[in-house]
Every structure is written in structure tokens, then in C-alpha cells.
Structure 1
């Protein structure tokens, strides 16, 4: 039986963590024995019912020179003897790569979901040239960005695998936001989702609504470390009564089915999972031109694009969908996700990257 160790010792639950959960589930269902490294006290309950998946809790993720953590990782890996090790978070790259090499693991795959500057050239050279780790990214635009650093990256160690999404069941019941929030029947429901972080641009929501009619409401699903700070800034604005924070939602299918359109106002992304999810429900989308969005939306064919921080353009995009000036076929949006960003394609390509000797055709 093939074995893989997925490192995801995170204190937040966002797109990367959800993607680790998805890969763990699908790899386990395909017969791979999966071990997931989590921080003690964080998210174990979300993995315990998955087939062929074992959770290993660690007390600390450590810093770059935490030899206790390296020693613990080496011990875990020597006991498991995995075929491949996968690190989902950039801050774990160095320790996981070092521990993997010391434990005799030949295959190290590191994930990057958002564009980052190369701040530590020596560390990057050690990881990608000396320890021979490879990089998995989720969009061609992000791959091209990393290839600008030829000292560390080339086409032999950077691989693009799109995040995968399954088309939701049509039988899923939508959230009735008008009833839930006691809103008039003519209300327009704009969905937002994601962790509270400055990069997500949720602080722009009042200014976006200021340019839209009073019957337009925004519903947000998510949580995060900057929640109090961002909510406080929004609550000082007159548009706050039209922004509804729902917190963590276990059933995001019902959330997406209940909205009229979806807004991504991020300042930085790789390829935003929530944008793919909204499209898989056939919902029209408005997005900033963050890496991955232009690629996903076909430069505007499948959704409205606006420049980062351009609240007027984001408002115009929403209004154009409300007015019917920009119309996107739900069938075409769903087919776009199913054909190019399906789960089967993601897990097939992940399996090739993880386990096959020849990666040249990826």
C-alpha cells in the first residue's frame, strides 16, 4: 500500500486546509494510506471519519531551527516510511524538507497557493536544489511567477495542479437568506466567503455597497484571526446593516445555493477555492484580478474582473449582473468547473506527482 504524510499544522481553517482535507479523503478512498500531521487541539474532528486516514497530533510546528520539532518529525517519518511527504504551508517547508531527508524520504512535495517573494535565497536553494523538493502550485500564473527565480525553480520542479471541485447535488436545499435575515423579497444576496485577513479585502465591503442600491445585501461565511479588527472597522460604516456575518458554515453547498451572485474582493490569491465553488453552483461571479482569477474566468468570459482595490469597478460589476447586462449561463459555468477543475483530474494528477517516476508530461 502506498503511504503519504500530509503536513498541515495550522491554527486557521481556510482554503489550503480544506484542500488538504479533500486530498486526504480522495487519496484514502483510492487506497492510499494517509497520515495527516495536525497541531494538537486543531481540526482533528474534521479528519477522523475519513477512510484510510490517520491523524497525528504534534504540540508545536517550531521555527526554522527547532531541533526538537525536526527530531519528532524524523521519528514519525522513520516509523511510517512514506512514499512521499507533502507540506501544505510555506512556513513548514524548511523543517519538513530537512526532516524528510534525514528520515530517508526521497519525495518531498511542497505546496504554494499564493504568490510569495523569495526572501531567503540560501534556504530556497537548500530546499529546492540540494534537498530536491518539488513545488506544487494551483495556477499557471503562479507557476510562471515562480519560474522568474531560475536559481531555484524550473519546469522540472514546479508543477501546476488545479484544485479540484465536484459539482454539487441539485437536491441540496439552499439557505433562505431573506427569511433567515428578515429581508424583503426583492433583496439581492451577494455572497462572500473566506477567512478574515487583510489580503481578502473584506474591509472594502462598505465602500462597495455604498455604490449599490439599498436592496443589495452581502452575506459572509468564514472566521479568522483578524475577525474582530475587520468587523469593528466595518461596523463604523453606515452600510454595516447590509453586511451579515454568518461565521463558520459546515454546509457551504447550502450557502452557495442561497446567494444570487458571488464576490471575491481579494488583494492576493493563488486560485481562490471559493470562486470555483461558486461557479460549480452556476452562480455568476465578480472578482479582482488576483493571480488565478483571470485564468479561471477566461479573462472575463466566465465572470466579471476588476482591478484590485477598485471598489467602483467591483460595484459596477455587481450592478451589471443585477441589471442583466452581464449574463453567465449556469450550465456553462458548471461545465467549466467540471471539465477543467474536476476532482478526478486533481486526484489523478496528484497521484502522478506523488508516486510516478516520470513527471515529464505533467
Structure 2
């Protein structure tokens, strides 16, 4: 069985990290699986896949991923595979349209990584969305809330919920890496870490605004890149907290950075899952997350939740974690919760779908 995984790029993000972590495991289990990128920007995720012997191809570097000509490029490839498994918009569209153009019999799978997108707010785009999604033989959503929202949007009742899995052993192994420069630089400080792309779905702004209200012993490390990073940097300058915030960009040692954290924060406007929350939990770090569907499912009753954009509530939760007993309690609950998201369950569930389609 030959399977092609298609995604916009392998920059930092939950879907991207899932591809980098999961594809080698599928190959180890005997599946022939390649990866196709609309934009082949050479990130450490690309290098990681290559080191694991995975064939990664792309249409160019720094591409405009919304170019509809990708439909014709994909159409020349898909008949070489039994299954094409797409992730994220616009790969979602280009893969479906490529099948229509070629009248191919290839089976299509799509994984929905979010509980919301702006296309759902417009009648015409909603109709197009329904048309595109219904070209897929199987649709997977990464949380119950993502399944519920998408089912309502595209009027399909056969969406399969498969929670994202995390390779907990890999995260724990990464955590053993000593980052001397960072650890020495912030000795004696309380470190808050957020791992997330700088996208409209994320809300680093609230964390920045919160830091301005916290004592000077608190610092923030942001891991990630994206179109909103300059906006966030401007806010940092405006609030005069540039000496307490560091933008680390794309990193391949997430476990090591999370291990430096006193608190892991996931601040989002909407979220399908929250992989970084699980990774922080796996290391026994207390996680504070926005109370939005998908993310809240992961964190509720283990970590702490704050209402979207509520800077003061986030501040109070961070300060509450200065209580030693409370910190230990939340850390323990988070570590226990992480065990529920072992990657093996996800891998087995995906492979069952692949086998059922062929």
C-alpha cells in the first residue's frame, strides 16, 4: 500500500509536528509512505523525516501556498498512490480538486486539526467547503469538539474522532538536553513557555499583556514563527517588556525548552487539540490554557483554564502556582493526563483506516 501525506509545509505547528513524528512510525509498521509539501522550506521537521529515510518532495521553496496551479501539479502525482492523506487548508482543496481533474480512483483522507476556520462564517465559502470535504472518502478530526463542529459545518455524520497522539518517550528524552545558554541567562527567573505558530488562531498577545502585569522575575519564551510575529514584537516594544521576552523561532528541541519552563501556557483563540500542552504535561509542568473547545478537552481537570483574552485571570493563575503544594498538585495531574495521549493509540487507529480503504 502506497500512501502520500500532503501538507502545506513543515514549519512549526501541531499538524506539522504530527507528520514528522508519525510518518516514520507508520513506515516502521510496514506502510510505504511519502510526504508532499506545497512549500518546501527546509525546516528541522523536513530534515528529521529525511534522516528517517522518508521521501519528502515539494513544489518549491517559499511558495505562495494558495496558488491554484498546485491542483495540476498534484494531479500528476496522485495516481502513483493508493491513498492520499491531506492536512490543513489549502492542501485540503488542492488534493480534492486534483482528484476531480484526473477522475482518479485514489482514496482520499483528510484530517481536521481545528474546531473553526473563517470560511465557516460565509455562506458561499461554506457551500464550497461542503463540496470539497465531501470528495474525501474518510474524514478524521483530532478531538470530539473538532468532530462536532465539522459535522455541523459539512453535514456529515461519519467523521471519525482520533485524538492526536504524542510520543511521550521522545519528549522525555529531549528534555534531557541541557540548554546552557538559556538556563544560565534566566537563572533565578520564573520561565513561562508557549510553543505555537504566530497565526490568527493563536493568542500570544494575551501572554505578552499578562507579562506586563507580572513581577519582574517572570520571563516568557515563545517558540514558533508565522505571519503575526512582527505584530507581537511590536506589542512587546509598546509595553516595554522586551528584556523579559525572547522569541526563539523554530526549534527542534521542544522537550528541552519545555523542561526549562516553570509554567507552560497555551493561549489560543481556537484550537483543535494542543500538542504542546500534552508535551508540557508529560514533563510534569503545570499547563495553563485558554478555555476554548478542543484545547479545553485536553487540559480540563488536570491543568488550569482561563477565559479567552482574560489577562487578569491568566495572571492570577500564574501567581497561584507560586504556592508549592498547589504547584505540585497540578503538576501531578498534568503528568497523569499526558499518559492518556500515548501515540500508539493514534498510530493503530490511522492504520486501521488505511487498511479498511484498500
TM > 0.5 between the two?
A: yes
Find the counterpart in structure 2 of residue 161 from structure 1.
162
Find the counterpart in structure 2 of residue 135 from structure 1.
139
Deviation at 1:134, TM superposition (A): 2.8
Find the counterpart in structure 1 of residue 14 from structure 2.
15
Find the counterpart in structure 2 of residue 83 from structure 1.
82
| Distance change (3 Å), C-alpha of 1:246 and 1:145 | same
- Write the distance in 1 (CA, Å) between the matches of 2:33 and 2:25: 10
| Distance change (3 Å), C-alpha of 1:42 and 1:123 | same
Deviation at 1:209, TM superposition (A): 1.8
8 Å CA contact 1:161, 1:349 repeated in 2: yes
- Write the distance in 2 (CA, Å) between the matches of 1:267 and 1:31: 39
- What is the TM-score when the length of structure 1 is the normalising length? 0.86
After superposing the two structures, state which structure 1 stretch, 97-106 or 111-120, moved more. Answer: 97-106
- Structure 1, unaligned stretches of length 5 or more? none
After superposing the two structures, state which structure 1 stretch, 272-281 or 203-212, moved more. Answer: 203-212
> Within 5 A, what are the aligned runs for 1:320-339?
320-324=320-324, 325=326, 327-328=328-329, 330-338=331-339
Find the counterpart in structure 1 of residue 219 from structure 2.
217
| Distance change (3 Å), C-alpha of 1:152 and 1:27 | same
SS at match of 2:329: coil
Alignment of 1:124 with 2:129, yes or no, is yes
Deviation at 1:98, TM superposition (A): 2.7
8 Å CA contact 1:191, 1:220 repeated in 2: yes
SS at match of 1:105: coil
Deviation at 1:87, TM superposition (A): 1.0
Deviation at 1:29, TM superposition (A): 1.7
Find the counterpart in structure 1 of residue 104 from structure 2.
104
- Write the distance in 1 (CA, Å) between the matches of 2:343 and 2:87: 18
Deviation at 1:15, TM superposition (A): 1.8
Deviation at 1:174, TM superposition (A): 4.3
Alignment of 1:172 with 2:172, yes or no, is no
Deviation at 1:271, TM superposition (A): 1.0
- Write the distance in 2 (CA, Å) between the matches of 1:62 and 1:235: 31
- What is the TM-score when the length of structure 2 is the normalising length? 0.87
Find the counterpart in structure 1 of residue 201 from structure 2.
199
- Write the distance in 2 (CA, Å) between the matches of 1:177 and 1:72: 44
Find the counterpart in structure 1 of residue 347 from structure 2.
347
- Structure 2, unaligned stretches of length 5 or more? none
Deviation at 1:289, TM superposition (A): 0.8
Cα RMSD after superposing both structures: 2.5
Deviation at 1:14, TM superposition (A): 1.9
Deviation at 1:265, TM superposition (A): 1.6
8 Å CA contact 2:12, 2:196 repeated in 1: no
- Write the distance in 1 (CA, Å) between the matches of 2:143 and 2:22: 17
How big is each residue's C-alpha offset from its partner over 1:118-152, in whole Å with a ceiling of 9 and x where there is no partner?
342432343344x3443221111111112223x53
Find the counterpart in structure 2 of residue 308 from structure 1.
308
